[in-house]
Structure 1
């Protein structure tokens, strides 16, 4: 293995371990919920997927629907934060929100073609 290959492997390993972060800055996590999300890879991944879906969806819908989706997201975040350190609760809440966002995507797709 060449020096360059080894260097890239080491760098990517360091980058991956440090980039183990949710859709928010884990170094600035203050709540029990945020810390739990940052500590558990599956929750971290669910947070990134949900956040990505939410941001894409928010840009795809008209203004009136956008405000509804944003309001739902704020309510969902408040609901999520009640889970605190419960990994099972957080998993369920993320699954629920992702299903809601997926329903919005399905409605948009059915309106096609684009």
Structure 2
């Protein structure tokens, strides 16, 4: 990753952390004490899936805090759709892993698009 892109992403993450509270109401990472569905219980019982959940939630917060309102709505709609597909995995670890990998890749793409347009 070029140094300039890394700096832009680091700046974006720092900005997102300051505005995360506003975005957290839209999607908060799993609270394992309240995990009820088979997918949530499986995620909470797996270190790797828990890490994927944390990464996805962070990327979601960054992406939604840096885009215009219209694109933010699209990302939020995609998140709701993704949550339904994730929950459809039930306790299937392979399915959950694949779901997280795809969502993380989609959010990475949004952030890379932001970084590619600057300004810097």
**Pairwise same-fold verdict (TM > 0.5):** yes
Q: Is 2:51 the counterpart of 1:45? A: yes
Q: Which has the higher contact order (CA 8 A, sep 6+)?
A: 2
Alignment partner of 2:92 out of 80, 86, 91:
86
**Structure 1 segments (4+ residues) deviating >6 Å:** none
- C-alpha displacement at 1:48, in angstroms? 0.4
The answer for unaligned runs of 5 or more in structure 2 is 1-27
SS of aligned partner of 1:99: helix
Corresponding pairs, count: 93
Larger Rg: 1
State the match for 1:13 in structure 2. Answer: none
Give the Cα–Cα distance (whole angstroms) in 2 for the partners of residues 38 and 86 of structure 1.
Answer: 13
Q: Normalization by structure 2: what TM-score?
A: 0.75
- C-alpha displacement at 1:97, in angstroms? 0.3
Q: Normalization by structure 1: what TM-score?
A: 0.79
- Per-residue deviation, residues 6-33 of structure 1 (Å, max 9, x unmatched): xxxxxxxxxxxxxxxx922101101000
Q: Is 2:75 the counterpart of 1:69? A: yes
SS of aligned partner of 1:23: coil
State the match for 2:10 in structure 1. Answer: none
Give the Cα–Cα distance (whole angstroms) in 1 for the partners of residues 62 and 115 of structure 2.
Answer: 13
